[in-house]
């Protein structure tokens, strides 16, 4: 395996059947995570699964009430990091040439977004933080995560009726500052960052100079960095020093191939946000 | 070929879906029943009387609307205080924007949130009845009924209205007058004794006028 890359893919069907897939099955993936209100997305293609496994992994994308859990971990050697946790939206297999491919399209929290529905009266004495908690409680297969600055403890002078799609109502009451990452709903302002150790992105890890794109710096790593997490602080130490400093990891795209039969890149593209004000560190 | 490619949605279907979505989530007017009255804040809690239909054909009740200001007929500091109670029906209007800041401060202010036509911004106008429980009204008189209901009312008098009194109206007074006349007659004073009295009301409330 190139650079001793490794992965583990876990799938659990609505019937409770658990599947675990590891090398030497070849795997190509694109994982896109960000602190935005759109749900995180991943596509994974497996090559030449055993027929029984292949047949077991099928999901119609319109069957939104079926929950297929998927957890994808990648890393080097035995050190694996979870880079995606969510649910399968669509999965199917096909043969092309001599190879069988199994294509999996998955989203982080889309099952909760599609199936969460709330119909509740929130009294005037209930804080916004508690109201957010009650909305999240109505979203299946998802848990409350970091509730930052937007989820203050202020209370409204009047009670409120919350009725409709839980996700849409959550975005409404938080001003569009909720996002789902790794099966957790976080509510954070743009200048909020999750309190933790700082991830150092030094020059050895960077493939090319950082690109300044709109409000973000785009950094592509020379090797995949599965340990980086969105919403946390990342320190950039590039040889091109102009942009060096601490940023909030706004998004990360992991893409690559892990295969014993074919070589290929495995990189991470990281979006870094400088912030308009000093970051407010928040935690669970 | 996936289903989207086989049956691409056309513009009409998309517009119909958008229209249906807007109408199903847009709140304008509903009929409600009062479940709690908070007179000190002039608010009510309301149960909407028409359930919400889901796409699968099931129906569920709306959540209770809370802290809904109710309409009071008033002006210039005068008002009609009605004993609104649990069980009264009302028209429920949903304000275009969030009313929290106006309601809590009475000031012109930005809306507290961006919600529009929300169930949370309901206003109640009490006084609506279903066919099963109409009020007793004959359409002849202007009647203001208290909580005792029909039959307890009396005709209102106004300044200038004629008054008349006979033995049948005030037996005590006319009996006393007859007794006084008898005493006078015993003393040799002969005066005519009236048996009825007519006149007009000469004064009334300076605050209320009835046409």
The 3-state secondary structure of chain B, one letter per residue:
CCHHHHCCCCHHHHHHHHHHHHHHHCCCEEEEEEEEEECCCCEEEEEECCCEECCCCCEECCCCEEEEEECCCEECCEECCCCCCCCCEEEEEECCECCHHHHHHCCCCCCCCCCECCHHHEEEEECCCCCCCCCCCCCCCCCCCCCCCCCCCCCCCCCCCEEEEECCCCHHHHHHHHHHHHHHHHCCCCCCCCCEEEEECCCCCCCCCCC
Whether residue B115 sits in one domain with residue B188: no
| Lowest mean pLDDT segment, chosen from A52-61, A84-93, A161-170, A273-282 | A273-282
What was the pLDDT predicted at A154? 76
Q: Is residue B207 assigned to a domain? A: no
Closest CA to A234 of A257, A210, A255, A213: A210
DSSP H or E run through A269? strand A266-273
Whether residue B172 sits in one domain with residue B133: no
The verdict on A123 touching B (C-beta cutoff 8 Å) is: yes
Whether residue B107 sits in one domain with residue B58: yes
| Lowest mean pLDDT segment, chosen from A27-36, A134-143, A204-213, B202-211 | B202-211
Q: Is residue B97 assigned to a domain? A: yes
Query: Could you give the 3-state DSSP secondary structure of residue A170?
Result: helix
Which residues have a Cβ under 8 Å from the Cβ of B97 and sit 6 or more positions away?
Answer: B111, B115, B116, B121
What was the pLDDT predicted at A284? 79
Contact indicator for A256, A224 with CB cutoff of 8 Å: yes
Give the Cα separation of A5 and B85 in Å (integer).
Answer: 72
Instruction: Let me know if B114 is exposed, middle or buried by CB neighbors in 10 A (0-12, 13-18, 19+).
Output: exposed
Angle of the A128-137 helix axis to the A166-173 helix axis, nearest 10: 170
H helical segments located in chain A: 51-56, 110-115, 128-137, 166-173
What was the pLDDT predicted at B5? 60
pLDDT band for position A2 (cuts 50, 70, 90): low
- For residue B105, the domain's CATH number is 2.40.50.230
> Which residue out of B7, B46, B94, B100 would a mutagenesis test of the A interface target, given it has the greatest number of A Cβ atoms within 10 Å?
B100
Q: Is residue B179 assigned to a domain? A: yes
Q: How far is CA A146 from CA A167, A171, A184, in A?
A: 16, 15, 8
B117-139 CB burial, b ≥16 within 10 A, e <16: ebbbbbbbebeeeeeeeeeeeee
The boundaries of the domain holding residue B185 are 162-200
Q: Is residue B135 assigned to a domain? A: yes
> Which residue out of B21, B67, B101 would a mutagenesis test of the A interface target, given it has the greatest number of A Cβ atoms within 10 Å?
B67
> Across-strand partners of A193?
A281
| Min Cα separation B14/chain A (Å) | 17
Q: How far is CA A101 from CA A24, A30, A164, A257, B118, in A?
A: 14, 15, 39, 14, 48
Contact indicator for A84, A69 with CB cutoff of 8 Å: no
Cα dihedral A242, A245, A248, A249 sign: positive
**Tokens linked to A62:** 């319109």
Whether residue B171 sits in one domain with residue B141: no
Q: Is residue B124 assigned to a domain? A: yes
Whether residue B73 sits in one domain with residue B177: no
Whether residue B144 sits in one domain with residue B182: no
As for how many domains chain B has, the answer is 2
In chain A, which among 148-177 make CB contacts under 8 A with chain B?
156-164, 172-173, 175
Beta strands in A97-225 (DSSP E): 99-107, 117-122, 143-147, 160-165, 178-181, 184-187, 192-202, 211-213, 216-220
Closest CA to A107 of A72, A57, A153: A72
Chain A, nearest residue to B61 by Cα: A119
ipTM, two decimals, is 0.76
Whether residue B186 sits in one domain with residue B111: no
Whether residue B141 sits in one domain with residue B171: no
Whether residue B124 sits in one domain with residue B166: no
Contacts of A158 in chain B (CB under 8 A): 66-67, 99-100, 103-104, 120
> Which residue out of A58, A158, A164 would a mutagenesis test of the B interface target, given it has the greatest number of B Cβ atoms within 10 Å?
A158
Which residues have a Cβ under 8 Å from the Cβ of B106 and sit 6 or more positions away?
Answer: none
| Min Cα separation A111/chain B (Å) | 18
Q: Is residue B20 assigned to a domain? A: no
Whether A161 and B113 lie within 8 Å, measured CB to CB: no
Q: Is residue B191 assigned to a domain? A: yes
Whether A163 and B115 lie within 8 Å, measured CB to CB: no
Higher pLDDT, A129 or B193: A129
CA B154 from centroid of its chain's CA atoms: 21
Kindly report, residue by residue over A25-42, the tens digit of the pLDDT: 999 999 999 988 778 999
> Which residue out of A122, A134, A161 would a mutagenesis test of the B interface target, given it has the greatest number of B Cβ atoms within 10 Å?
A161
Whether residue B122 sits in one domain with residue B42: yes
Q: Is residue B138 assigned to a domain? A: yes
Contacts of B63 in chain A (CB under 8 A): 119-121, 161-163
pLDDT band for position A12 (cuts 50, 70, 90): very high
Contact indicator for A85, A53 with CB cutoff of 8 Å: no
What was the pLDDT predicted at B48? 97
Higher pLDDT, A100 or B55: A100
pLDDT in tens, chain B (211 residues): 555 566 677 888 889 989 988 988 899 999 999 999 999 999 999 999 999 988 788 899 999 999 999 999 999 999 999 999 999 999 999 999 999 999 999 999 999 888 899 999 999 999 999 999 988 887 888 888 888 888 888 888 888 888 888 888 899 999 999 899 889 988 988 878 888 889 998 888 877 777 6
Contacts of B119 in chain A (CB under 8 A): 161, 163
Contacts of A132 in chain B (CB under 8 A): none
What was the pLDDT predicted at B6? 63
What was the pLDDT predicted at A112? 95
Place of tokens 């005792």: B148
Whether residue B138 sits in one domain with residue B50: yes
Q: What are phi and psi of B20, to 5 degrees?
A: -60, -40
What was the pLDDT predicted at A1? 58
Whether residue B40 sits in one domain with residue B90: yes
Among residues B130, B150, B170, the one where a domain terminates is B150
Cβ-based neighbour number of residue A48 at 10 Å: 16
Contacts of B103 in chain A (CB under 8 A): 157-158
């Amino acid at each position: 395996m190139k650079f001793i890359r490794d992965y583990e893919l876990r799938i659990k069907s609505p019937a409770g059947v658990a599947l675990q897939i590891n090398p030497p099955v070849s795997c190509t993936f694109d994982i896109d995570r960000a602190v935005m209100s759109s749900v995180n997305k991943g596509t994974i293609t497996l090559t030449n699964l055993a027929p029984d496994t292949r047949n077991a992994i099928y999901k119609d994308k319109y069957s939104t009430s079926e929950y297929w859990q998927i957890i994808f971990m990648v890393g080097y050697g035995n050190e694996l990091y979870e880079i995606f946790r969510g649910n399968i939206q669509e999965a199917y297999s096909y043969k092309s040439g001599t190879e069988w491919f199994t294509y999996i399209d998955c989203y982080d929290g889309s099952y909760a977004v599609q199936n969460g529905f709330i119909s509740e009266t929130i009294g005037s004495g209930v804080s916004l933080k508690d109201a957010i908690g009650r909305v999240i409680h109505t979203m299946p297969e998802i848990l409350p995560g970091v509730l930052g600055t937007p989820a203050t403890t202020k209370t409204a002078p009047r009670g409120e009726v919350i009725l409709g799609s839980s996700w849409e109502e959550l975005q409404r009451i938080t001003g569009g500052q909720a996002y789902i990452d790794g099966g957790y709903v976080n509510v954070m302002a743009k200048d909020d960052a999750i309190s933790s150790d700082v991830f150092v992105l030094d020059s050895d890890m960077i493939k090319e100079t950082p690109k300044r794109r709109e409000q973000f710096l785009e950094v592509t790593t020379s090797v995949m960095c599965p340990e980086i997490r969105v919403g946390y602080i990342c320190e950039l130490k590039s040889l091109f020093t102009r942009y060096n400093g601490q940023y909030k990891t706004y998004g990360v795209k992991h893409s690559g191939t892990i295969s014993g039969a074919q070589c290929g890149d495995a990189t991470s593209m990281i979006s870094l946000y400088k912030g308009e004000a000093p970051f407010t560190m928040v935690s669970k | 070929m996936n289903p989207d490619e086989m049956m691409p949605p056309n513009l009409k279907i998309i517009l119909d879906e958008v229209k249906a979505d807007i109408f199903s989530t847009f709140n304008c007017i509903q009929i409600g029943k009062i479940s709690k009255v908070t007179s000190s804040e002039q608010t009510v809690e309301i149960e909407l009387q028409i359930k919400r239909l889901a796409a699968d054909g099931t129906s569920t009740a709306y959540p209770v609307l809370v802290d809904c200001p109710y309409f009071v007929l008033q002006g210039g500091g005068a008002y009609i205080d009605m004993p609104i109670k649990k069980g009264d029906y009302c028209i429920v209007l949903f304000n275009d924007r969030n009313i929290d800041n106006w309601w809590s401060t009475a000031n012109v202010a930005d809306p507290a949130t961006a919600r529009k036509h929300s169930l949370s911004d309901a206003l109640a106008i009490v006084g609506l009845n279903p066919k099963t429980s109409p009020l007793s009204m004959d359409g002849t008189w202007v009647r203001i009924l208290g909580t005792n209901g029909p039959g307890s009312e009396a005709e209102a008098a106004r300044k200038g209205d004629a008054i008349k009194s006979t033995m049948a109206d005030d037996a005590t007074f006319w009996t006393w007058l007859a007794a006084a006349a008898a005493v006078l007659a015993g003393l040799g004073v002969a005066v005519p004794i009236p048996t009825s009295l007519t006149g007009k009301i000469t004064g009334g409330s300076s605050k209320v006028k009835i046409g």
